Every structure is written in C-alpha cells, then in structure tokens.
C-alpha cells in the first residue's frame, strides 16, 4: 500500500442536486446528520491503510478546503502521511479548468511524479459506500493489470446511468459501453479505478483524451489489460435529490446495509460550530422520536419519525418531521409539519407551516428532471412563513424570506425565489 497514491476527484458542481449544491461542491453536501458526502471516500482510505491522498477540487472549493484541512480527522497527517488539496490549474484560458476525469489526473502529474507511486487509486468524492481498497489493489497486482475497475451488478433499468462492462471468466473486460440505452450486461462501474501509473502516464501525456468512461476505457479494452473487480456491498451515487434522500433513509433501515458505525466513518468535528463540543441532544418529555438520527445539540419537543437531524436542529412542541432530512441549526417552529422534505442549513420553518402533505404532485416546472417524486427542497438560510402550505416537488431557493412567497398556498411543482434585486451573490 506504500506505493499507492489516492487521487480523489472532488470538483463536481452537482447540478442535479439543485439548490443543495449551489453554495458548495457536491462532495461537501452534508449527509447523515454530522457527515459530508466526501467523508465516505476519506474514511475508506483511512480504513484501508493508505497513507497519501490528493483531493482535486474545482467548483466552490472553500467548504471542502476547510473541512479536509490537513487530513487530521482521517489520520492522514504526519511525516509519511498526507491529505493534499490540489486546486485546478487555472490560467488565462477557460480550457485550463479540468475538462474531464482523465484531464484532472493529467494536469497533476507534476504532483504525482515526485512521489513515484507504482499505482494510482482514483476515487470519486460523491459516493456513499464502505470499501476496503486493499483487496482490490491485490487483485490488480495479481492480474498484472494496467487498469482495474470496481464494478457491481445494478438493476437493468439503471444500466443507462453507468459505464457497463462485459467480462470473461477471469473478469477481464472484453466489452464496454458508457451509459448505453441498451446493454447485454448490467455489470456497472462504480467510478473506483486502480491504474498502473506508468501505463496511465503513457496513455494521457500527449493524447486528447479527457474522460475515463467515454475515452480511456473504450480505447484500452482489447488492447491493454483491463479487469473488473467485483464488489457486492452497499454503494450509492447520491448525485440526484431522490438518491440523496433515499441514501439518508437507508441509514434508518437495518436491512439496507448502510451502517455508519460499522463502517467507521469519520468527519471533521472541529467545524460546524465544533460538533465535538456541542452538548448532547435534548429530547423533551413531549417529544415522539422514532427511527431517527438525532445529532448532538438538537432540541426536540415535537415529533420526529424516519428522519435525519443534523447538529443544532430545533423541533418545537407540536411540530412534526416525517421522512425528512433537516440540516444544521434549522428551526422547525411550533405546529409546523414536514414530510418528504430536505431542508438545508440555517433555515426556519414558520409556526403552523405545512410542507409536503399532498399526493401525486406534478414535477417541478423549472427543474422537472431534478424534482418529480414528490420531495420538497428548502435551500440554505431560507425562511418559510408561518401558516403557509407548500406542495410537493417545490423548491424554496436559498435565503428566500417571507415576503418572497406568493401567498398562503404554494402550488405543487413551484419554485419560490428571492425577488429580483435581492438574490445574494453566489446562490
């Protein structure tokens, strides 16, 4: 493992997460109460005994930079250990930004070469899973592979979202299709790669290839030694609002396979108001809490069922939070009701407001591909007025205030945004 260097791709903008990713990079989106999405890859690196990781950032990197710091939270700090933030190599032209996954690696060989790694483990920072990378690396070495791809069988209806491989009896890849409309195989790439460093350098330097799935892998199959490493644990791409919500709900289901404690997931406890110093959560006598994650510093006097609360959330008496994800320091005021709602940080749900208690709402009119299953998203710092009723598939944009709402009823499929001239910069 000493000759393995991790390159962790964490520059994605996360457009399909809509307003959740607008103030931050997708890997920095909070998840599971106290964590961020990138914590899973970093914890896997730590638990696999790998000593060095480079985190490649691009879109709104500030929150990631602060969160990762020097890697101390994941025991990646010291003379022979390290977590290095690598910003994009921006210059005078827009093309200096990373143009794909392969281009991101190519632009950082000046960092890679002095460390002289025998192999590169390339990861994505926006997946929720637990994996010990050591057996995969051993498989790569045993097969004398140029490239090894972690893969698992997915439902046939999901094949069109993945790179898909056909393999022989030795798991050597014999065919490849990137996000095919139809496929002979449902063995899908998880975006976890082990590369022979010298091989990847030869392929990338001087080539016009920018992306692994669309260009590098198809060109290598049949010409070079490309293998699939089978994985059968829990893995989920949380790049859509629905997938993000479902993965949070999986944490509450003992049968799902998602288990933060068993996975030994770590996070930076020094941020978010120093999570490690927050007092224990307060569950009042009037509270009804069932099948929920309640993080430190929460005050619950109402009802919380099948929901995830991040640190500092307040649920006042008579309030009801069901099938929802509520992030840091949000207040759900007395008598408010949430169902199927994702609420970003520092929001306020006014007393008596009702969000999401309707059936079969139409898709969101502005973003029908992002919000169409009935969920509601309330952006960071938004305020929902007291007594307002908000229909399904609605987006309340960040920093929206009471006067931005059209009235007492927000129709299903709507978007509520700050009025013209008052939209904060960057959101």
Q: Which domains, from first to last, does the chain contain? A: 4-241 (3.90.550.10), 279-416 (2.160.10.10)
Tell me what the pLDDT averaged over the chain comes to: 92
Q: pLDDT, tens digit, for every residue of 210-231?
A: 899 999 999 999 899 999 999 9
Q: Which is nearest to 4 in space by CA: 136, 129, 131, 110?
A: 136
- Are residues 137 and 129 in contact, defined by beta-carbon separation less than 8 angstroms? no
Q: What is d(CA 123, CA 247) in angstroms, rounded to the nearest whole number?
A: 19
- Are residues 343 and 397 in contact, defined by beta-carbon separation less than 8 angstroms? no
What does the pLDDT average to over 239-263? 96
- What region, left, alpha or beta, does residue 255 occupy, with left being phi > 0 and alpha being psi -120 to 50 degrees? alpha
pLDDT-derived band at 162 (thresholds 50, 70, 90) equals very high
What does the pLDDT average to over 189-194? 97
Q: Which stretch of DSSP H or E encloses residue 66?
A: helix 62-68
Q: Which is nearest to 193 in space by CA: 105, 121, 297?
A: 121
- What's phi and psi for 133, nearest 5 deg? -80, -15
* Beta pairing partners, 82: 52
Q: pLDDT, tens digit, for every residue of 47-86?
A: 999 999 999 988 877 888 889 998 999 999 887 788 998 9
Q: What is d(CA 167, CA 326) in angstroms, rounded to the nearest whole number?
A: 43
For 317-337, b/e burial (b = at least 16 CB within 10 A) is: ebbbbbbbbbbbbbbbbbbbb
- Are residues 36 and 22 in contact, defined by beta-carbon separation less than 8 angstroms? no
pLDDT-derived band at 208 (thresholds 50, 70, 90) equals confident
What does the pLDDT average to over 108-122? 95
Residue written as token pair 């998203």: 377
Strand intervals (E) in 208-265: 226-230, 235-237
- Are residues 278 and 34 in contact, defined by beta-carbon separation less than 8 angstroms? no
Q: What is d(CA 272, CA 372) in angstroms, rounded to the nearest whole number?
A: 31
- What's phi and psi for 96, nearest 5 deg? -70, -15
What SS3 class is residue 246? helix
CA atoms within 13 A on the CB side of 10: 34
Q: What is d(CA 302, CA 280) in angstroms, rounded to the nearest whole number?
A: 17
Strand intervals (E) in 245-372: 282-283, 288-290, 293-294, 299-300, 303-305, 308-309, 314-315, 320-322, 325-326, 331-332, 337-339, 341-343, 348-349, 354-355
pLDDT-derived band at 11 (thresholds 50, 70, 90) equals confident
Q: 423: how many CB neighbours lie within 10 A of its CB?
A: 15
Alpha helices in 81-191 (DSSP H): 101-106, 109-115, 133-142
What does the pLDDT average to over 232-255? 96
In terms of Cβ atoms closer than 10 Å to its own Cβ (0-12, 13-18, 19+), residue 394 is buried
CA atoms within 13 A on the CB side of 318: 10
Q: What is the pLDDT of residue 96?
A: 58
In the chain, the percentage of residues whose pLDDT exceeds 90 is 80
Of 33-47, 52-66, 175-189, 388-402, the poorest mean pLDDT is in 52-66
Tokens (6 digits) for 113: 């070469």
Q: What is the pLDDT of residue 91?
A: 46
Tokens (6 digits) for 333: 């005021």
Q: pLDDT, tens digit, for every residue of 124-151?
A: 999 999 999 999 999 999 999 999 999 9
> Is the model's pLDDT at 371 over the cut of 60?
yes
> Is the model's pLDDT at 94 over the cut of 60?
no
Strand intervals (E) in 125-180: 127-129, 147-153, 163-167, 173-178
For 100-127, b/e burial (b = at least 16 CB within 10 A) is: bbbbbbbbbeeebeeeebebbbbbbbbb
Q: What is the pLDDT of residue 62?
A: 84
> Is the model's pLDDT at 23 over the cut of 80?
yes
Rounded to whole angstroms, the maximal C-alpha distance in the chain is 67
Q: What is d(CA 186, CA 18) in angstroms, rounded to the nearest whole number?
A: 28
Tokens (6 digits) for 96: 């200096």
């Amino acid at each position: 493992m000493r000759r393995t260097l991790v390159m962790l791709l964490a520059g994605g903008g996360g457009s399909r997460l809509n307003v959740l990713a607008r103030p931050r990079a997708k890997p920095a989106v909070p998840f599971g109460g106290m964590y961020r999405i990138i914590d899973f890859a970093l914890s896997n690196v730590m638990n696999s005994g790998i000593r060095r990781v480079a985190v490649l950032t691009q879109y709104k990197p500030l929150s990631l930079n602060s969160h990762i710091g020097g890697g101390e939270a994941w025991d990646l700090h010291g003379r022979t250990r390290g977590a290095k933030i690598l910003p994009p190599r921006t210059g005078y032209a827009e093309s200096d930004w990373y143009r794909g996954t392969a281009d991101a690696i190519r632009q950082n060989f000046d960092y890679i070469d002095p460390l002289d790694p025998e192999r590169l483990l390339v990861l994505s920072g926006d997946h929720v899973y637990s994996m010990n990378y050591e057996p995969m690396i051993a498989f790569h070495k045993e097969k004398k592979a140029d490239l090894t791809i972690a893969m698992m069988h997915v439902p046939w209806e999901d094949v069109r979202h993945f790179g898909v491989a056909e393999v022989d009896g030795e798991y050597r890849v014999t065919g490849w299709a990137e996000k095919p409309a139809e496929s002979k195989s449902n063995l899908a790439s998880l975006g976890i790669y082990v590369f022979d460093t010298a091989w990847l350098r030869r392929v990338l330097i001087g080539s016009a290839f920018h992306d692994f799935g669309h260009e590098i892998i198809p060109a290598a199959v049949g010409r070079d030694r490309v293998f699939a490493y089978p994985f059968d644990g829990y893995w989920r791409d949380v790049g859509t609002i629905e997938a993000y919500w479902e993965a949070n709900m999986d944490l509450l289901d003992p049968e799902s396979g998602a288990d933060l404690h068993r996975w030994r997931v770590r996070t930076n406890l020094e941020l978010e108001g120093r999570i490690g110093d927050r007092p224990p959560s307060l569950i009042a006598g009037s509270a009804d809490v069932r099948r929920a994650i309640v993080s430190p510093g929460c005050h619950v006097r109402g009802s919380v069922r099948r929901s995830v609360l991040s640190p500092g959330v307040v649920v006042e008496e008579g309030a009801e939070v069901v099938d929802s994800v509520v992030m840091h320091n949000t207040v759900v005021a007395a008598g408010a009701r949430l169902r199927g709602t994702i609420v970003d940080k520092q929001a306020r749900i006014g007393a008596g407001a009702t969000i999401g208690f309707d059936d079969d709402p139409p898709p969101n009119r502005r973003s029908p591909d992002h919000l169409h299953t009935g969920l509601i998203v309330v952006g960071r710092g938004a305020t929902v007025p007291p007594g307002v009723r908000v229909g399904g598939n609605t987006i309340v944009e960040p920093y929206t205030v009471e006067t931005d709402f059209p009235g007492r009823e927000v129709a299903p499929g709507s978007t509520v945004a700050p009025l013209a001239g008052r939209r904060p910069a960057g959101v």
